[in-house]
Amino acid sequence: MKCGHGMKLAVSLAICVILSLFAISSLASEDGVISTRYRDDSYAWTSDKIYVSHGYFTDDDDEHQDCLGPVHYDVFCADRTTGKAKRLFQSVQAEAVQLFADQDDLYVVSYTNHGYKDGTNEWDFYITTKWYSYCDVIVYDTLEEKTKASYSIAMPECTKDIAVYDEKLYLITDKSIYCCDNGSTSGLYSFDGKSENDLSESHMVFENGRIYFQEDDTIRSIDLADGSVRTEWMINDIGHTLPFEQAVKLESYAGRKFNYIVANGVIYSYDATVGITMAYDTVSKESFIASLKGYHFSVFTDGIMKAATVEKDSEQEYSSMDYLLRIDENGKLVECMERNELYVKDVSIPVGNGQYTTPVDVSVIEIDRIDLLKYVP
């Protein structure tokens, strides 16, 4: 069971499906931890390999499982030149599986949340007052082609977001932020407000030894060297600014996977009050307009951002357009390539080196090849 954004829990299953159709996200950092996500599948890569965790359904799944997402995953490795793929791990059973490539190691991180009514042992989808989560980590040596470490973490909290940075696993739950070093877990921060980061909606971001996270409508950061916490910037995001129904509809078209991104010490975020993209310099403590267009970020990797704009016509109908962006010398966002991917089959999933691949349908179980294409500048 997933415990994401509060808004998501209240949305009907039909809208949950719509939201998932166009979900692409990237968890890349300047320190070389690479990971991209599309729908329920996760992608990671090195200079010569592409890794995919692919979710699928089986005949034994519950009849409503297609609304909640897969709970069965296989992990594949593909050659970047030929696209030929082989299976590394089979039938990883979890609510979510995320891959991270950190230098020569591949991290296969899976977690499952269980929600219960307080005072009972009964699982409940809509009314949950007690959480338990289980997280399993496999560290795979890509050079030796073997597992070098594995460990598990269990806690009475709901795991919402996961990431790997500098050979450590970071967890954001509904209550706290944790750092896990080879199975040894320590707390970094306890929330007074609402924990807003989520693997499927708003990822945590790392840059220059700091983790940036969201509490209520405020971005804070933690210095991972000394544990000090710094309040950065209050953002006017969709969930905290717009009326509920309008926010749900806008998010369904935007495909937003980051409420904010951080690059070169600057935080970028869509401002829902005026519909533009604002930025905040964490050094000068000054904010500025990054673009007069309102960008909803889905990918940040290889020095580019993938983002969508959402327009509304006179009949209040929404439409979406995808862009690839770069940051200019003044910190402004500049379009470097335009692609309308919303209703075409070749939705691009960036996998580094200027290449992208296309989605694998959830009905496919065996992957023997991954198509790799080049972005055209």
What is the pLDDT at residue 376? 62
One-letter identity of residue 122: E
What is the pLDDT at residue 10? 37
Assign 22 to helix, strand or coil: coil
What is the pLDDT at residue 324? 80
Average pLDDT over residues 301-311: 79
CA torsion, ordered 335, 256, 240, 286, to nearest 10 deg: -30
Name the more confident of 141 and 254: 141
What is the pLDDT at residue 353? 79
* Tokens found for residue 253: 């078209």
Nearest-angstrom CA–CA distance, 38 and 128: 27
The CATH number of domain 6-374 is 2.130.10: yes
pLDDT at 259 over 60: yes
What is the pLDDT at residue 260? 92
Name the more confident of 314 and 329: 329
Q: What is the pLDDT of residues 350-375, one digit of tens each?
A: 787 778 888 888 888 889 999 888 76
Listed by start position, the domains of the chain span: 6-374
Closest CA to 72 of 88, 89, 85: 89
- Cα dihedral across residues 137, 140, 141, 142: positive or negative: negative
Closest CA to 331 of 371, 285, 279: 279
Nearest-angstrom CA–CA distance, 313 and 90: 47
| Residues 6+ away with beta carbon under 8 Å from 46 | 34, 101, 104, 142
Nearest-angstrom CA–CA distance, 58 and 164: 30
Nearest-angstrom CA–CA distance, 160 and 163: 11
Assign 296 to helix, strand or coil: strand
DSSP letters, 220-286, are EEEETTT--EEEEEE---HHHHS-HHHHHHHHHHH---BS-EEETTEEEEEETTTTEEEEEETTTTE
Exposed / middle / buried, residue 115 (Cβ in 10 Å: 0-12, 13-18, 19+): buried
Do residues 200 and 4 make contact, with C-beta atoms less than 8 angstroms apart? yes
Nearest-angstrom CA–CA distance, 158 and 176: 10
Helix (H) or strand (E) holding 66: helix 65-68
pTM above 0.75, yes or no: yes
Residues found in the chain: 377
Phi–psi pair at 8, nearest 5 degrees: -65, -35
What is the pLDDT at residue 214? 96
| Residues 6+ away with beta carbon under 8 Å from 14 | none
pLDDT at 17 over 60: no
Do residues 352 and 32 make contact, with C-beta atoms less than 8 angstroms apart? no
Return the axis-axis angle of helices 244-254 and 13-21, rounded to nearest 10°. 30
Q: pLDDT band for position 249 (50/70/90)?
A: confident
**DSSP label at residue 376:** P
pLDDT at 268 over 90: yes
- Please report how many Cα atoms fall inside a 13 Å half-sphere around the Cα of residue 203, on the Cβ side: 28
Q: In what order do the strands lie in the sheet with 286-291?
A: 261-263, 266-271, 276-281, 286-291
Exposed / middle / buried, residue 275 (Cβ in 10 Å: 0-12, 13-18, 19+): middle
pLDDT at 147 over 90: yes
Average model confidence (pLDDT) across the chain = 82
One-letter identity of residue 187: G
Do residues 8 and 201 make contact, with C-beta atoms less than 8 angstroms apart? yes
Nearest-angstrom CA–CA distance, 55 and 362: 6
